[in-house]
C-alpha cells in the first residue's frame, strides 16, 4: 500500500477550534441523552449560530423550488438573486451597487477563498487583525500568502485604525487588508469615519480593502457599509443575520475589474453556489422585519453574560456592539483552553477558548456566543456565576499579559 502523502500545506493548517469545541459539546449532549445520565443539559455558547431558524418564507420558497429544475445555476449566482441583493444594499445602506458586481458564494467562507485568490499571488502580504476570525489567515496561508497581523486591543475599543496598521510589521503595501465589522470575536464596529480612514490607508498603498460584513444586522443600529467604496470587496452571508448557517450561502460585492477573475475562479473551484439555497435566500431578503427583532435579543443576551462576568471582577470585555459574542479576558482563572474543557465537563457550559482568534493573548480569552435563546443564556450565566464564586484565581494571568 502506498503511504498517503499529506501536503505540507495541509499538515500545517491548524484546526478551526470552534468546530472542535462544537464536536466536544455534541459528544456531551449524546451522553446527557442516555437514560442513566443525571448530567444537566449543555448550554451551547460555543458556536456562532443563531438559535432562531431560517425565516418561514425561506423554508416555503425552498420547498416550492423542489418542484422546479434544480441543476447548476450561473457560477456568479442566479441573476434575480444578484439584483435583489443590489436592491437590499440600496434599502439598508443607501449604496448603489451594480448587480453585475454581486457574486453569490457558498458562504462567506468560499467568498474569502475567492477574494484572496483573486487579489493576491503566493508571497504577497495580506493584513488581518488579531484578535480576528482565524479562517482568514488560515485561508491566506493555504494560498501561499504571507499573513501580517495588526493587533487590536481595548485601547481602541478593539477597532482597527491606521495607527494600528502602521505599527504592523509591513515593508510595503500589502495586496489586501481583511477586516470585519462587526468583528468576530470582539463585536467591535467600524464607524463611517473608521471605514473612510482605513480606505484612505489602503488607497495610499495600492491595497484592496476587504470588509467582512457578515454580522451586519446583528447590532441595534444600521451600520455603514463598505459597499459605498466601489474599489472595496465586501463579503456577506446568509449564515448570521438571516439564520441560515447550514444553507451555505453568501455573497460578495467586488470591484468591476474583479468580476470576471472571480467568476473564472468560482467556475473552477465551486461550479456554482447551491441552487435550493438561492431560492430560499431570495425569499429571506424580504423577511427583514422579523430578522431585525433578533438583534435586540443578541444585545440583551450579551448584557446578561457581561453582567455576570463583571460582577466576578472580569474587566477586559470587548464592547460587543455588534455580532453575538462576548470576548473576555479570564486569564486570572487560568489557561482558556483548560478553562473551557473544565466548564464543559463540570458545569455543562460550552464556550470557545481564545487562542485560535489570537495567537498572542488568546490563551487568556474566552469567546461566548450569545446567539442562543435567552433561557439558555440565563442558565449559563447562573452556572458560571456559581462556578466563579468558588473558583481559585490563578496568578498566571498577571505574568503573561
Ligand atoms: C467573521 C466571519 N466571517 C466568515 C464566516 C464564515 O461564514 P459562512 O457560514 O458564511 O461561511 C464566519 C463564521 O462564523 C465569521 O464569523
94 and 239 fall within a common domain: yes
- pLDDT tens digits, 70-114: 899 999 999 999 999 999 999 999 999 999 999 999 999 999 999
113 and 191 fall within a common domain: yes
Q: Quick check: 152 and 129 in contact, CB under 8 A? A: yes
Looking at residue 390, its pLDDT comes to: 87
180 and 280 fall within a common domain: yes
318 and 280 fall within a common domain: no
Whether 246 is covered by a domain: the verdict is yes
Geometric angle at alpha carbon 198, from 354 and 364, rounded to 5°: 15
Task: Choose one of 287, 312, 345: the last residue of a domain.
Answer: 287
Domain count, the chain: 2
274 and 346 fall within a common domain: no
129 in helix, strand or coil? strand
Q: Quick check: 247 and 238 in contact, CB under 8 A? A: yes
Distance 34 CA to ligand 1 centre (A): 33
CA distance 80 to 65: 14
Q: Which residues of 215-238 are buried (b: 16+ CB within 10 A; e: fewer)?
A: bbbbbeeebbbbbbbeebbbbbbb
Single pTM value for the model: 0.94
Contacting residues for 84 by C-beta, under 8 A, at least 6 apart: 282, 285
Looking at residue 288, its pLDDT comes to: 94
Whether 1 is covered by a domain: the verdict is no
Looking at residue 394, its pLDDT comes to: 64
| Cβ atoms < 10 Å from Cβ of 299 | 18
Decide: 75 in ligand 1 pocket, CB within 6 A: no
CA distance 296 to 279: 27
Decide: 369 in ligand 1 pocket, CB within 6 A: no
Distance 388 CA to ligand 1 centre (A): 31
Looking at residue 222, its pLDDT comes to: 86
Geometric angle at alpha carbon 54, from 49 and 55, rounded to 5°: 140
124 and 99 fall within a common domain: yes
Phi, psi (rounded to 5 degrees) for 44? -90, 100
Looking at residue 246, its pLDDT comes to: 96
293 and 239 fall within a common domain: no
Whether 61 is covered by a domain: the verdict is no
Looking at residue 6, its pLDDT comes to: 94
92 and 226 fall within a common domain: yes
Distance 115 CA to ligand 1 centre (A): 14
Low pLDDT (below 50) residues in the chain = 395
Decide: 250 in ligand 1 pocket, CB within 6 A: yes
17 and 33 fall within a common domain: yes
Task: Choose one of 261, 287, 313: the last residue of a domain.
Answer: 287
Distances in Å between the Cα of 248 and the Cα atoms of 240, 258, 276 are 11, 22, 11
Decide: 187 in ligand 1 pocket, CB within 6 A: no
Geometric angle at alpha carbon 231, from 226 and 235, rounded to 5°: 50
Contacting residues for 345 by C-beta, under 8 A, at least 6 apart: none
Strand partners, 168: none
Whether 258 is covered by a domain: the verdict is yes
What's the CATH code of the domain at 133?
A: 3.40.640.10
Pocket test for ligand 1, best of 16, 54, 129, 133 (most atoms within 8 A of CB): 133
277 and 296 fall within a common domain: no
Pocket test for ligand 1, best of 184, 243, 281 (most atoms within 8 A of CB): 184
Whether 78 is covered by a domain: the verdict is yes
Looking at residue 81, its pLDDT comes to: 98
What's the CATH code of the domain at 376?
A: 3.90.1150.10
Which atom of ligand 1 approaches the CA of 183 most closely? 1
Whether 60 is covered by a domain: the verdict is no
Decide: 301 in ligand 1 pocket, CB within 6 A: no
Whether 64 is covered by a domain: the verdict is no
CA distance 215 to 153: 20
Which atom of ligand 1 approaches the CA of 48 most closely? 14
- Give the full edge-to-edge strand order of the sheet including 352-353: 325-329, 365-369, 352-353
Give the structural domain span for 208. Answer: 69-287
Looking at residue 396, its pLDDT comes to: 55
Nearest residue to 373 via CA among 287, 304, 311, 289: 304
Task: Choose one of 228, 261, 287: the last residue of a domain.
Answer: 287
255 and 321 fall within a common domain: no
Whether 3 is covered by a domain: the verdict is no
Which atom of ligand 1 approaches the CA of 110 most closely? 11
Distance 111 CA to ligand 1 centre (A): 10
123 and 187 fall within a common domain: yes
Amino acid at each position: 500500500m502506498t503511504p498517503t502523502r499529506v501536503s505540507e500545506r495541509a499538515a500545517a493548517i491548524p484546526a478551526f477550534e470552534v468546530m472542535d469545541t462544537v464536536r466536544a459539546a455534541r459528544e456531551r449532549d449524546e451522553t446527557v441523552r442516555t437514560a442513566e445520565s443525571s448530567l444537566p443539559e449543555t448550554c451551547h455558547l460555543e458556536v456562532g449560530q443563531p438559535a432562531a431558524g431560517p425565516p418561514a418564507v425561506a423554508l416555503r420558497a425552498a420547498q416550492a423550488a423542489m418542484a422546479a429544475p434544480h441543476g447548476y445555476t450561473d457560477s456568479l449566482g442566479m441573476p434575480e438573486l444578484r439584483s435583489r441583493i443590489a436592491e437590499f444594499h440600496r434599502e439598508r445602506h443607501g449604496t448603489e451597487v451594480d448587480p453585475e458586481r454581486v457574486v453569490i458564494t457558498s458562504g462567506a467562507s468560499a467568498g474569502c477563498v475567492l477574494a484572496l485568490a483573486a487579489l493576491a499571488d503566493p508571497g504577497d502580504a495580506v493584513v488581518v487583525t488579531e484578535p480576528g476570525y482565524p479562517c482568514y489567515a488560515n485561508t491566506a496561508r493555504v494560498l501561499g500568502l504571507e499573513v501580517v497581523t495588526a493587533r487590536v486591543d481595548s485601547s481602541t475599543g478593539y477597532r482597527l485604525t491606521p495607527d494600528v496598521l502602521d505599527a504592523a510589521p509591513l515593508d510595503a503595501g500589502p495586496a489586501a487588508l481583511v477586516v470585519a465589522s462587526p468583528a468576530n470575536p470582539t463585536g467591535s464596529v467600524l464607524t463611517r469615519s473608521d471605514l473612510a480612514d482605513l480606505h484612505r490607508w489602503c488607497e495610499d498603498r495600492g491595497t484592496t480593502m476587504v470588509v467582512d460584513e457578515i454580522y451586519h444586522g446583528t447590532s441595534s443600529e444600521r451600520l455603514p457599509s463598505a459597499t459605498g467604496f466601489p474599489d472595496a470587496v465586501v463579503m456577506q452571508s446568509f449564515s448570521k443575520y438571516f439564520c441560515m448557517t447550514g444553507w451555505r450561502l453568501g455573497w460578495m460585492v467586488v470591484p468591476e475589474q474583479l468580476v470576471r477573475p472571480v467568476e473564472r475562479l468560482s467556475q473552477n473551484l465551486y461550479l456554482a453556489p447551491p441552487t435550493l439555497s438561492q431560492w430560499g435566500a431570495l425569499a429571506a431578503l424580504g423577511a427583514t422585519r422579523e430578522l431585525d427583532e433578533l438583534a435586540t435579543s443578541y444585545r440583551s443576551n450579551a448584557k446578561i453574560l457581561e453582567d455576570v462576568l463583571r460582577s466576578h471582577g472580569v474587566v477586559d470585555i470587548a464592547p460587543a456592539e455588534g455580532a453575538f459574542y462576548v470576548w473576555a479576558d479570564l486569564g486570572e482563572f487560568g489557561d482558556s483552553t483548560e478553562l473551557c474543557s473544565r466548564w464543559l465537563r463540570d458545569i455543562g457550559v460550552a464556550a470557545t477558548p481564545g487562542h485560535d482568534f489570537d495567537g498572542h493573548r488568546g490563551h487568556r480569552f474566552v469567546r461566548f456566543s450569545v446567539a442562543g435563546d435567552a433561557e439558555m443564556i440565563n442558565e449559563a450565566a447562573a452556572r458560571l456565576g456559581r462556578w466563579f464564586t468558588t473558583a481559585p484565581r490563578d496568578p498566571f494571568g498577571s505574568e503573561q499579559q
